[in-house]
């Protein structure tokens, strides 16, 4: 048999692809790209004095309470979470000028109080609805004033919208009636 000495036998490179696939799948599985999205919140600065509780009953305060059983109490009446967003918007804007709702958007305060036993999931859902109410109001105001979506505005324009409808959400110290984990 005439052996051809010029060309070396080719290494079958097909299995290298399998090794590389394995490495790739290993990397895809082990590196968790954690979702980096969330609800941004600005906490109030810390102060040693407890906040003044006497202002709660006025027309400009929208009190939201969540108890340890994850039940909602909005302005002293039990409420369903699905109606929270609309009620909050109605309170802030007060289209009909009702006496029991906010005098103006700049004077509207939302007061949120929960219990130490409240589930975080429910708390975040409530916070989400309150934030959504403001986001929708800012969006409507942005469309009315500038004609574009709120997310397309410049920082200064956003500031003017937020000055007209400021997000004032005060969180009270939680009560301790429920069982905390």
Partner 1 sequence: MAHFQKKRGKSTPGISTASLPDIIFMLLFFFMVVTVMREGERMVQVVTPQATQLEKLEKKSLVNTIYIGRPTQKYQAIYGTRPRVQLDDKFSNHLDADIALFLEQHKLRVNEQLWGQITTSIRADREVTMGIVTDVKTALRKANQLKINYSATPDAARLAQMN
Chain positions contacting partner 1, by CB under 8 A: 2, 4, 12-14, 16-17, 19-21, 23-24, 27-28, 30-31, 33-46, 114-121, 123-125, 127-128, 131-132, 135, 173-174, 176, 178, 180-181
Name the region of 173 (left: φ>0; alpha: ψ -120 to 50; beta: rest): beta
What is the closest distance, in whole angstroms, from the C-beta atom of residue 141 to partner 1 in the complex?
A: 16
Residue 90 or 125: which CB sits closer to partner 1?
Answer: 125
Residue 37 or 97: which CB sits closer to partner 1?
Answer: 37
Tokens of 166: 């400021």
Residue 7 or 96: which CB sits closer to partner 1?
Answer: 7
Nearest-CA neighbor of 114 among 126, 106, 103?
Answer: 126
End-to-end CA distance of the chain: 82
| Element at 64 (helix H, strand E) | strand 61-66
Residue 23 or 103: which CB sits closer to partner 1?
Answer: 23
Nearest-CA neighbor of 66 among 170, 180, 175?
Answer: 175
What is the closest distance, in whole angstroms, from the C-beta atom of residue 134 to partner 1 in the complex?
A: 9
Tokens of 32: 């968790």
What is the closest distance, in whole angstroms, from the C-beta atom of residue 118 to partner 1 in the complex?
A: 4
Residue 166 or 178: which CB sits closer to partner 1?
Answer: 178
What is the closest distance, in whole angstroms, from the C-beta atom of residue 41 to partner 1 in the complex?
A: 5
Burial class of residue 159 in the structure, from the number of CB atoms within 10 Å of its CB (0-12 exposed, 13-18 middle, 19+ buried): exposed
User: Distance between CA 40 and CA 44 in Å, rounded?
Assistant: 13
What is the closest distance, in whole angstroms, from the C-beta atom of residue 167 to partner 1 in the complex?
A: 11
């Amino acid at each position: 048999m005439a052996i051809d000495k010029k060309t070396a036998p080719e290494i079958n490179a097909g299995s290298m692809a399998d090794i590389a696939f394995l490495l790739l799948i290993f990397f895809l599985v082990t590196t968790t790209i954690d979702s980096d999205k969330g609800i941004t919140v600005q906490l109030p600065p810390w102060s040693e004095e407890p906040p003044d509780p006497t202002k709660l009953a006025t027309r400009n305060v929208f009190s939201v309470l969540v108890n340890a059983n994850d039940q909602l109490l909005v302005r002293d009446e039990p409420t369903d979470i699905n109606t929270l967003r609309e009620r909050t918007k109605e309170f802030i804007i007060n289209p009909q000028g009702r006496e029991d709702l906010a005098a103006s958007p700049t004077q509207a305060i939302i007061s949120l109080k929960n219990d130490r036993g409240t589930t975080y999931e429910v708390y975040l859902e409530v916070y989400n609805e309150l934030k959504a109410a403001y986001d929708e109001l800012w969006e409507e105001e942005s469309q009315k004033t500038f004609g574009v979506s709120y997310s397309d505005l410049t920082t200064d324009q956003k500031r003017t919208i937020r000055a007209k409808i400021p997000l004032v959400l005060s969180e009270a110290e939680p009560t301790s009636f429920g069982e905390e984990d």
